[in-house]
Protein backbone atom coordinates (compact mmCIF):
# COMPACT_ATOMS: atom_id res chain seq x y z
CA UNK A 1 0.00 0.00 0.00
CA UNK A 2 1.36 3.39 -0.93
CA UNK A 3 2.40 5.37 2.14
CA UNK A 4 0.49 8.45 1.02
CA UNK A 5 -2.78 6.49 1.39
CA UNK A 6 -2.13 5.64 5.06
CA UNK A 7 -3.88 7.96 7.54
CA UNK A 8 -1.68 10.30 9.58
CA UNK A 9 -0.36 8.64 12.75
CA UNK A 10 -1.86 11.31 14.96
CA UNK A 11 -5.35 10.99 13.44
CA UNK A 12 -8.32 9.11 14.91
CA UNK A 13 -8.62 7.22 11.61
CA UNK A 14 -5.12 5.76 12.08
CA UNK A 15 -6.20 4.00 15.29
CA UNK A 16 -9.20 2.32 13.59
CA UNK A 17 -9.34 -0.30 10.88
CA UNK A 18 -8.37 1.41 7.63
CA UNK A 19 -10.92 1.24 4.85
CA UNK A 20 -8.40 0.95 2.03
CA UNK A 21 -8.04 -1.52 -0.81
CA UNK A 22 -4.58 -3.04 -1.20
CA UNK A 23 -2.57 -1.99 -4.25
CA UNK A 24 -1.94 -5.62 -5.27
CA UNK A 25 -4.09 -8.74 -4.98
CA UNK A 26 -2.66 -12.17 -5.81
CA UNK A 27 -5.23 -14.95 -5.72
CA UNK A 28 -4.52 -18.62 -6.31
CA UNK A 29 -7.42 -20.41 -7.98
CA UNK A 30 -8.60 -23.51 -6.20
CA UNK A 31 -8.98 -26.71 -8.25
CA UNK A 32 -12.76 -26.21 -8.49
CA UNK A 33 -12.67 -22.55 -9.60
CA UNK A 34 -13.20 -21.43 -13.17
CA UNK A 35 -12.16 -18.34 -15.07
CA UNK A 36 -15.55 -16.54 -14.95
CA UNK A 37 -15.60 -16.78 -11.15
CA UNK A 38 -12.02 -15.52 -10.86
CA UNK A 39 -12.78 -12.76 -13.38
CA UNK A 40 -15.70 -11.56 -11.25
CA UNK A 41 -13.43 -11.43 -8.18
CA UNK A 42 -10.74 -9.56 -10.10
CA UNK A 43 -13.25 -7.00 -11.35
CA UNK A 44 -14.62 -6.47 -7.84
CA UNK A 45 -11.10 -5.89 -6.57
CA UNK A 46 -10.38 -3.37 -9.31
CA UNK A 47 -13.66 -1.56 -8.63
CA UNK A 48 -12.64 -1.30 -4.97
CA UNK A 49 -9.41 0.47 -5.93
CA UNK A 50 -6.89 -2.36 -6.32
CA UNK A 51 -4.27 -1.38 -8.92
CA UNK A 52 -3.00 -4.82 -9.95
CA UNK A 53 -4.52 -8.31 -9.72
CA UNK A 54 -2.71 -11.58 -10.38
CA UNK A 55 -4.99 -14.60 -10.82
CA UNK A 56 -2.76 -17.64 -10.40
CA UNK A 57 -3.79 -20.89 -12.12
CA UNK A 58 -1.67 -23.74 -10.78
CA UNK A 59 -3.37 -26.39 -12.94
CA UNK A 60 -2.53 -24.46 -16.13
CA UNK A 61 0.72 -22.90 -14.88
CA UNK A 62 -0.59 -19.49 -15.92
CA UNK A 63 -1.17 -16.10 -14.35
CA UNK A 64 -3.90 -13.72 -15.49
CA UNK A 65 -2.90 -10.08 -15.05
CA UNK A 66 -5.66 -7.55 -14.44
CA UNK A 67 -5.28 -3.77 -14.47
CA UNK A 68 -7.86 -1.01 -13.90
CA UNK A 69 -9.96 -0.04 -16.90
CA UNK A 70 -10.11 -3.49 -18.46
CA UNK A 71 -12.97 -5.99 -18.46
CA UNK A 72 -10.59 -8.82 -19.40
CA UNK A 73 -7.11 -9.78 -18.25
CA UNK A 74 -4.55 -7.47 -19.83
CA UNK A 75 -2.19 -10.45 -20.11
CA UNK A 76 -2.16 -14.20 -19.62
CA UNK A 77 1.35 -15.26 -18.65
CA UNK A 78 2.83 -18.73 -19.01
CA UNK A 79 6.01 -20.39 -17.76
CA UNK A 80 8.13 -18.58 -20.34
CA UNK A 81 7.01 -15.17 -19.05
CA UNK A 82 7.72 -13.05 -15.98
CA UNK A 83 5.43 -11.23 -13.58
CA UNK A 84 5.90 -7.47 -13.64
CA UNK A 85 5.09 -5.17 -10.76
CA UNK A 86 4.51 -2.21 -13.11
CA UNK A 87 4.02 1.04 -11.19
CA UNK A 88 2.60 -0.87 -8.19
CA UNK A 89 5.91 -2.62 -7.40
CA UNK A 90 8.44 -0.71 -9.53
CA UNK A 91 11.36 -2.88 -10.58
CA UNK A 92 9.76 -6.15 -9.47
CA UNK A 93 9.90 -9.07 -11.89
CA UNK A 94 9.59 -12.77 -11.14
CA UNK A 95 9.65 -15.74 -13.53
CA UNK A 96 6.24 -17.41 -13.73
CA UNK A 97 8.00 -20.78 -13.98
CA UNK A 98 9.39 -20.25 -10.46
CA UNK A 99 5.86 -19.99 -9.05
CA UNK A 100 5.22 -23.57 -10.12
CA UNK A 101 8.66 -25.10 -9.54
pLDDT in the model for residue 9: 79
Q: Does any domain span residue 93?
A: yes
Q: Tell me, what CATH number does 64's domain have?
A: 3.90.1570.10
Over residues 65-89, mean pLDDT: 97
**Using 50, 70 and 90 to split pLDDT, how confident is the model at 3?**
low
d(CA 10, CA 5): 14
What pLDDT was estimated at residue 16? Answer: 77
- Does a structural domain hold residue 42? yes
- Taking only the tens place, the pLDDT of each residue in 15-70 is 777 677 899 999 999 999 999 999 999 999 999 999 999 999 999 999 999 999 99
SS3 76: strand
Average pLDDT on 76-86 reads 98
Residue 6 has pLDDT above 90, yes or no: no
In a domain, 17, yes or no: no
**pLDDT over 90 (residue 8):** no
Specify whether the CB–CB gap between 78 and 62 falls below 8 A: yes
Q: Of 89, 43, 18, 8, nearest to 53 (Cα)? A: 43
In a domain, 1, yes or no: no
* The predicted structure's pLDDT at residue 15: 76
pTM for the complete prediction?
0.85
Full domain range(s) for residue 78? 23-99
Amino acid sequence: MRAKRVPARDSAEYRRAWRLAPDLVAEVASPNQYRPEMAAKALLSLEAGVRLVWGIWSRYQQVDVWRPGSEQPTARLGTGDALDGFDVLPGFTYPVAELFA
